[in-house]
């Protein structure tokens, strides 16, 4: 069998077919395709490709964005794990793929494409979950301010404190201008500090965070800044905890819809798998073979697809 695959250059053909696929999983399925052992399975597969080829020529390619494997993401949520923003974006993308396919096949004539419609009819509308994901996750994969009332309050407080610290630092720069080695605020170990000439370091009440290599500058966090910095630090801790709770709740919603998500992912993979074969066939002017039970091979005007026309 391996000799036949090598002689017919099946691997090269499968490589080309896989290039038409949008799904990580279906690409692997295509590359691992083997010859059918059952004539009935072969007939079903040919019927799927025949219908898809006709549908694509009539309506255009099926609407699938790049599709990522979500099985591991679902497993993580089922085990009580917290999904990342990128995980949620992959989930939302699969939901959107399913919605687009539902709309696409809803417009196709059922009588003309019965095999494909039986597959697409099993897709489940999870648009409500996509909306919930995008209420939390922004397009740049950050957490939206409006993901919860509490998160909005915390971030507003952080903005206010940041403004307060900016105003205070400008005031301190002016107040201690005669002691500064340069008129700027620096950051050392996450703290706002003033670059004080070392000879004047005892003139300012605060915490020393660093000393320059030359020893001529001491980086001091004024006491007035310490309290504000601590408040901002605590607010960021509150923010991180609220984000954790938000993502945990959203992960739980993914778990509740795990079966539907896996169902859709498998159907998307299947349709993409069939579509890749059909697109390759259309591109190379291929025809779907008719199978008979007799041991007859009747091929007319045939050519190997890797040979130029």
Residues 6+ apart with CB under 8 A from 182: 195
Cα distance between residue 190 and residue 169, in whole Å: 15
Mean model confidence pLDDT for the chain: 92
Cα distance between residue 188 and residue 220, in whole Å: 9
Domains and CATH numbers, the chain: 2-126+257-283 (1.10.1420), 149-243 (1.10.1420)
Asked if the model's pLDDT at residue 274 lies above 90, the reply is yes
The torsion angle over the Cα atoms of residues 297, 114, 108 and 282, rounded to 10 degrees, is -10
Show the 3-state SS of 237-297. HHHHHHHHHHHHHHHHHHHHCHHHHHHHHHHHHHHHHHHHHHHHHHHCCCCCCCCCCCCCC
pLDDT 10s digits, 23-66: 989 999 999 988 888 888 999 999 999 999 999 999 999 999 98
Cα distance between residue 133 and residue 136, in whole Å: 5
* Distance from the Cα of residue 88 to its chain's centroid: 7
Cα distance between residue 287 and residue 299, in whole Å: 11
The pTM of the full predicted model, rounded to 2 decimals, is 0.85
pLDDT 10s digits, 168-223: 989 998 998 888 888 888 888 878 888 999 988 888 888 998 998 899 999 999 99
pLDDT bin (cut points 50, 70, 90) of residue 297 is confident
Residue with tokens 């993502």: 247
Token pair belonging to 172: 């301190």
Backbone angles phi, psi at 276, to 5 degrees: -60, -45
């Amino acid at each position: 069998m391996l000799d036949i695959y090598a002689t017919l250059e099946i691997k090269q053909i499968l490589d080309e077919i896989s290039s038409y696929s949008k799904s990580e999983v279906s690409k692997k399925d295509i590359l691992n395709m083997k010859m059918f052992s059952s004539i009935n399975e072969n007939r079903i597969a040919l019927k799927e490709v025949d219908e898809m080829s006709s549908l694509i020529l009539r309506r255009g390619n099926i609407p699938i964005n790049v599709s990522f494997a979500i099985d591991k993401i679902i497993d993580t949520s089922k085990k009580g794990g917290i999904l990342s923003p990128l995980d949620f974006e992959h989930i939302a993308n699969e939901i959107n793929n399913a919605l687009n396919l539902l709309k696409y096949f809803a417009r196709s004539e059922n009588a003309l494409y019965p095999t494909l419609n039986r597959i697409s009819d099993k897709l489940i509308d999870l648009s409500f979950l996509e909306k919930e994901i995008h209420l939390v996750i922004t397009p740049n994969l950050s957490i939206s301010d409006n993901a919860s009332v509490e998160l909005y309050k915390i971030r507003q407080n952080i903005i206010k404190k940041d403004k307060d610290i900016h105003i205070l630092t400008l005031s301190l720069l002016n107040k201690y201008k005669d002691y500064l080695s340069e008129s700027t605020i620096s950051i050392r170990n996450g703290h706002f500090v003033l670059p004080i000439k070392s000879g004047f370091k005892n003139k300012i009440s605060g915490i020393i965070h660093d000393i320059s290599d030359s020893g001529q500058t001491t980086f001091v966090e004024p006491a007035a800044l310490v309290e504000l910095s601590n408040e901002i630090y605590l607010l960021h801790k509150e923010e991180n905890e609220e984000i954790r709770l938000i993502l945990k709740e959203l992960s739980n919603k993914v778990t509740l819809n795990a079966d539907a998500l896996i169902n859709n992912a498998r159907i998307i993979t299947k349709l993409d798998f069939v579509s890749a074969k059909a697109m390759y066939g259309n591109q190379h002017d291929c025809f779907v073979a008719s199978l008979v039970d007799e041991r007859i091979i009747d091929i007319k005007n045939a050519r190997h697809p890797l040979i130029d026309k």
